[in-house]
Chain A
């Protein structure tokens, strides 16, 4: 989290990816750092998964990761 907050401070949009065991820890750390970095969480566990399972986690998270790095696009028809 310190890395993403630091890079955002240098003007580089960033997103951190963590397992969903860290939702709360990340929120607390963000508050303490006075920042709200973009975060994407993937399903725990990580360490004992096969490579294929880890790749599937990456595929499942990819669209959310990209969405966290680009400006919000207004829904079609919205002002």
Chain B
């Protein structure tokens, strides 16, 4: 496609509807060719069928959108893995896009590739400032927008949305973690690189600066997790907890594995039905009164993801609330990063 002689390159990208509202890098043939050098895959290979239009997406289309997003060629394999993961039936990008809820794809990257491409897992890991974090998440969103046709205000019906829908991608801090890496906990090999996609809303802070035992800290975490979607929602939405190094130190000090932490959180989040039924506590929202005598878990058994990231100072962690969980909505998906 040829731009008009009098057209400004940056403006031309906006006018064609190819951007998320921020400027993009014009995808010239030279830039796309350099981007394609970042993968061993052939340009015409179909990577995924992208919702909502169910459009076949080739490696080349991913590369074009990666150029738009500002990626370097060495990021492309991570973007390709993220696109593949997002477009699985289990992750359900279609439903995630169309929902009125806040959520969008959150990309957690693990393994050697995070160091090779200079991703941030430390200070400000969920914030701005790192090119790989920022542009990989953005490239995935631009593929959904441009190839899949999933545009805000059209099929994307979010009531409010959230800023993480521009981009939400970070690396797990594996070196400083007391636990095995997330992708290993989810069944992949330690030397492998991988992306894990989670349908998440914006992160919210979780502070506890006094807990010295894992028991106390887990109780604090559970109290905050109870409010995901609302304090009376049960078995409906998942959550990801991004545990900071200082909080992880407390759990590690008590000898808690990741599995133990998840089990202890579930144990603290079994809620008496009487507190959850419609009208209880003066809140109209709630579950059917027939559940009044039951004890109901806040999360389904696979509904809690624990990730380790963040700077070394701050007894704060983050909760990333999820979306309709499991087969009803979205299942977290882990996928190896290829070449």
Contact = CB atoms under 8 A, between A and B. Distances in A.
Interface of A: 21-22, 24-25, 28-29, 32-33
A77 B155 CA distance: 42
B157 A25 contact: yes
Contact of B153 (A24, A29, A33): A24
Interface of B: 52-53, 98, 149, 151, 153-155, 157
Would you call the interface of chain B mostly helix, strand, loop, or mixed? loop
A18 to B, nearest CB: 11
Contacts of B154: 24-25, 28-29
Contacts of A33: 53
Contacts of A29: 52, 154-155
A32 B98 CA distance: 14
Contacts of A28: 149, 151, 154-155
A32 B52 contact: yes
12 contacts: A22-B157, A24-B153, A25-B98, A25-B154, A25-B155, A25-B157, A28-B149, A29-B52, A29-B154, A32-B52, A32-B149, A32-B155
Contacts of A21: 157
Nearest to B159: A21
Nearest to B149: A32
A47 to B, nearest CB: 10
A14 B236 CA distance: 31
Given A22-B157, A28-B149, A32-B155, 13 more contacts: A21-B157, A24-B153, A24-B154, A25-B98, A25-B155, A25-B157, A28-B155, A29-B52, A29-B154, A29-B155, A32-B52, A32-B149, A33-B53
Nearest 7 A/B pairs, CB to CB = A28-B154, A32-B53, A32-B149, A25-B157, A25-B155, A29-B155, A28-B155
A50 to B, nearest CB: 12
A21 B99 CA distance: 13
B54 to A, nearest CB: 8
Best-buried of A21, A22, A32 by chain B (most CB within 10 Å): A32
A11 to B, nearest CB: 21
B76 to A, nearest CB: 26
Contacts of A32: 52-53, 149, 155
A24 B153 CA distance: 8
A21 B158 CA distance: 11
Best-buried of A21, A22, A28 by chain B (most CB within 10 Å): A28
